[in-house]
Amino acid sequence: MVRMRSSLQTTVGARRMPQRQPGIEARWYSIAVVSIALALGSCSSGEPPGGASSKNLRLMTAQQYTNSLATVFGEDIADSVPAPLPPTPRTDGLLSSGASSVGVNSDQLGQLQQAAVAVAAQVIDAEHREYLVNCTPADAKKRDDTCAESFLQKTGRLLYRRPLEPALLKQLTADAGEAADQLEDFYAGLAIALEGMLVSYEFLFIGDETEPGKHGDIVPLDAYSLASRLSFFLWNSGPDDFVLDAAASGDILSERGRAKVVNYMLDSPYLERGMRAFFDDWMEFNRFDSLAKDAMEYPMVSGVTLADAREQTLRTVIDHLLVKELDYRDLFTTRTTFVSRHLALIYGVPTKGEEWMEYEFPKDSPREGLLTHVSFLASHAHPARSSPTLRGKALREVFLCQHVPPAPPNVDFSKLNDAPPEATARERLDIHSTNPSCAGCHKIMDPMGLALENFDGAGLYRETQKGGSVIDTSGSLDGVAFKDIHGLNSALRNHPNLSSCLVSRLYSYGVGGMGSKREEKATLDFITDRFVKADYRLKAALKSIAMSTAFANVRSQNTVGTAGAATPSTAQNRS
């Protein structure tokens, strides 16, 4: 969708709120409270509100809320309204996977209602109604049920990601008309009905509904749920009219029809938005929301610098994987990236006055791959110093999907605290090897983190530590020895877990975190094999996941397991 003009600074008062009678608005708010409470109950009980066939429900993330509004109404309206949705817990390496365990409290519902009022006010204002309201009333000061029904039917299908039930459409149309009569304003009445849709559980929760009459341990999604699953996976927002049309015709349920939809979505500019959301989530960039560095230790690092560090890595990933469609593994050895004016101070790069520019570090530079980006180095360090342990732990858990157990309770740090001030990071960490309860975990974290010690806690390059000691960056990664950061990058690039980890996280992201790795193993192995044979191209992995039989199914609530479990034979039924 083309980016719309900037929104008007419309206030609630501009909609003559003092003259409004609260009955309809209050009723829709009460309905929202009840329906969302029922939806929350269904998340734990497996019984959806209203007896629908939903098997899983998960709350939209804040970004999905904003993106969905942008898909329906345009980016200017979506960007003008904060997304009042609660944060989700990181589950299986992803924030999005924790959405199924999050609900909405009364305060947040109140904020959602206020956001709905703000959105609706802009949709019907004089600037936007011309192209957002698909009809013109006979008299703008009176109700027009025909026009109202046309708008609510079209907009409701996009917001609810499926056609409105006839009874609901009739009720919404009647409420819009009643409000128009009370307010003597057709558009104000339309806004009341729209507000109701924007606080409904059908909009705020993503539900997996199955095909009617289908039974068994593994049940196929219905056409509209499959459309939503594909859309939130690839675009991080609800489906557009093209995808919903494929669901309405049933084409999306056939292999050929689904392939047409998937190819359309992979070619859409929305794919970049979706993949930025995935990599931002996977790489734990939510850390930047509260990340700060000691101003005395790192005076050149500001909040803007850290925000640009996050953006640099996302630009690099999208350019490498989607624009140039290169080998995923090469993200860890590439010298090509993007640098802003603020990051130039950290990297020692002339920016030529440009806000952002593509840049390739020279071959003799220590900067190579994502691990040497400020985003990774600064977010996995302490406010005033580096941390080989935090960096090594992040490398293991984020990029290799290996779980590192938490530190045991009551660890004795006395020997570490008694280390002389001139002790190097390696010497201080060697102290952990004397404690059997610490040695096991530190053995798999510290060698990689020490290879990054040429970069301080803010990501600036150094050759010596305080005191003048030359930094030793040698080590090994699962039996592969290296001498420096370049060796670590190469070992990571060729690590057998690197590709399977990406596939696993993508799949979990796609099915909403409803996964069980034991039962999904055959599916994940098959998709990883296809990814490898496609020369590690991201779009190939996305298509393999989206076209797999497992992706289009959910596991019965009566069976211990997950959405999308499949045997090798069913996984191979899709390209």
**pLDDT tens series, the chain, 575 aa:** 322 222 222 222 333 333 444 466 555 555 555 455 544 444 444 444 434 444 578 999 999 999 999 999 999 999 999 998 988 999 889 999 888 888 888 888 889 999 999 999 999 999 999 999 999 999 999 999 999 999 999 999 999 999 999 999 999 999 999 999 999 999 999 999 999 999 998 999 998 999 887 777 789 999 999 999 999 999 999 999 999 999 999 999 999 999 999 999 999 999 999 999 999 999 999 999 999 999 999 999 999 999 999 999 999 999 999 999 999 999 999 999 999 999 999 999 987 777 899 999 999 999 999 999 999 999 999 999 999 989 999 999 999 999 887 776 666 555 555 555 666 676 666 666 666 555 556 677 788 889 999 999 999 999 998 778 889 999 999 999 999 999 999 999 999 999 999 999 999 999 987 655 566 888 999 999 999 999 999 999 999 999 999 999 987 654 433 333 333 333 333 33
**What was the pLDDT predicted at 568?**
32
Token pair listed for 76: 């200017």
The contacts of residue 226 (CB under 8 Å, 6+ apart) are 247, 252, 253, 258, 552
SS (H, E, C) 439-483: HHHHHHHHHHHHCCCCECCCCCECCECCCCCECCCCEEECCEEEC
Rounded CA-CA distance 416/420 in Å is 9
3-state helix vs strand vs coil in the chain, percent to 5: 55, 5, 35
437 CB neighbour count, 10 Å cutoff: 13
CA 351 to chain centre: 31
**8 Å CB contact between 386 and 456:** yes
Give this prediction's pTM: 0.87
Token pair listed for 574: 């899709």
**8 Å CB contact between 341 and 354:** yes
**What was the pLDDT predicted at 575?**
35
